[in-house]
Amino acid sequence: MEKLNKVVLAYSGGLDTSIIIPWLKENYGCEVIAYAADVGQEEELEPLNEKAIKTGASKIYIEDLKEELVRDFVFPMIKSGAIYENRYLLGTSIARPVIAKRQVEIAIKEGADAVAHGATGKGNDQVRFELTFKALKPDLKIIAPWREWDIKSRDEEIDYAEARGIPVPVSKAKPYSMDRNLWHISYEGGILEDPWNEYNEDMFILTASPEQAPDQPEILTIDFEKGVPVAINGQGYDPVALIFKLNEIAGRHGVGRVDIVENRLVGMKSRGVYETPAGTVLYEAHHALETITLDRDTLHYKQMVAGRYAELVYFGQWFTPLRQALDAFIDQTQERVSGSIKVKLFKGSVQTVGRKSPYSLYQEKLATFGADQVYNQKDAEGFINLFGLPLKVQASLDQSLKK
């Protein structure tokens, strides 16, 4: 392998990145700078300082990216309505570009000639990291150890770590892969690799079991300004505090769990179990507000855009002209998506039960089944005749051909 001068490694202190530090030094003869992103994983990041240095890093950066993640990545995604394959709220996906963006900035600051990550050659994260690197600093060399080394499994990683006296947070008995940030927690591996196996209840962190959730529902009001959530029950919160508060409330009611088999970008199917309590509430509330503030054509077209936007996030294509162009469209649609949504949380479910907005297009005098003076029901006859004209012409032709 070529000799490198300095490499910035995306470092979590987990199994993969714990052994990558000595592996990089052994195989590239380089200085390794560890970089850990605080994206709200609620773990003790401070011990990473000592751990990274002990395993061979020359220094470590620990960067607080929570506000940037929510403000510049999560909130635009909520406004878009993006949900991958109609189930996945993109918790891991949306965090990767902000993490990789800061990694590039550190590499430039340190004069590094390469960046490295611990994503496997089977996963989506390798694509998300590397597309960000290529978009922001295309001349940086990218090192992906999982695509280079001879290690083939989690068990072999554990053996590698033990041989070098490196403590790791997993064991062969329970090799779960867990990714956490303030938006969600994902679980993969272990017993979850068999899609017939039910998950273990003690696995969850953010959400109570729906069966054990309170027996009384809780009503929340979520206020939005131009598509961005700003308050809960009339109390304003900054972006990060709002997510944490909703995680606490919705998680208490068991809201936000999903168990899915998704199609990875690299071509295989993968089973994941996710907890996204705040996100589940916010997506429901935001969509409910759009139903009264967006006209039919814009709402329907935006739903198509949401599917493509979800793919861009999932595929790691955040820093692309298409995503930027879609954001321009989405921001325009959100100009009047302001108002309040009332939701009911109960034993794992969230349901909209009230909607109001100064920009509401809903008019009770038009929608009422009672007597009204604004809608002439006779007008519908001409509309139906014209709307159904192609069907009538087709049917007439079919009948004539049968004679």
Which is catalytic among the residues 80, 125, 271, 357?
125
36 sits in which H/E element? strand 31-38
* 396 assigned binding-site residue: no
Do the annotations mark residue 160 as ligand-binding? no
18 annotated ligand binder = yes
Residue 262 counted as an annotated binding residue: yes
Instruction: Measure the CA–CA gap between 64 and 61, rounded to whole angstroms.
Output: 10
125 tagged catalytic: yes
CA-nearest of 57, 61, 59 to 21 is: 57
Supply the DSSP symbol for 72. Answer: I
Task: Kindly state the tokens that stand for 58.
Answer: 């020359």
Which stretches does DSSP call E strand in 326-371?
A: 339-346, 349-356
Report whether 360 belongs to an annotated binding site: no
The answer to whether 17 is annotated as binding is yes
Is position 400 annotated in a ligand binding site?
Answer: no
CB atoms within 10 A of CB 373: 6
Neighbours of 362 (CB within 10 A): 12
Catalytic one among 16, 80, 179, 323?
Answer: 16
338 labelled binding-site residue: no
Identity (one letter) of the amino acid at 213?
Answer: A
Q: What is the dihedral of CA 276, 282, 288, 294, to 10 degrees?
A: -120
> Is there a binding annotation on residue 58?
no
Catalytic-role residue among 96, 102, 271, 323:
96
**244-240-136-309 Cα dihedral, nearest 10 degrees:** 70
Helices (H) and strands (E) in the chain, counts: 14, 14
Q: Which helix (H) or strand (E) holds 262?
A: strand 257-263
Kindly report the backbone phi and psi dihedral angles of residue 165, in degrees, each rounded to the nearest multiple of 5, phi listed first.
Answer: 70, 30
Secondary structure of residue 358 in the 3-state scheme: coil
> Does 15 carry a binding-site annotation?
yes
Q: Is 171 annotated as a binding residue?
A: no
Instruction: Write down the catalytic residue from 80, 177, 338, 357.
Output: 177
Q: Is 139 annotated as a binding residue?
A: no
CA distance 279 to 306: 16
Task: Please give the angle made by the CA atoms of 281, 285 and 288, to the nearest 5 degrees.
Answer: 145
| Residue 96 falls in the annotated catalytic set | yes
Q: How far apart are CA 193 and CA 257, in angstroms?
A: 18
Residues 6+ apart with CB under 8 A from 43: 180
120 is in an annotated binding site: yes
Binding site, residues?
A: 10-18, 37, 88, 93, 118, 120, 124-125, 128, 177, 186, 262, 274
Binding site for L-citrulline, residues?
A: 88, 93, 124, 128, 177, 186, 262, 274
Binding site for L-aspartate, residues?
A: 120, 124-125
Q: Which residues are catalytic?
A: 16, 96, 125, 177
Binding site for ATP, residues?
A: 10-18, 37, 118
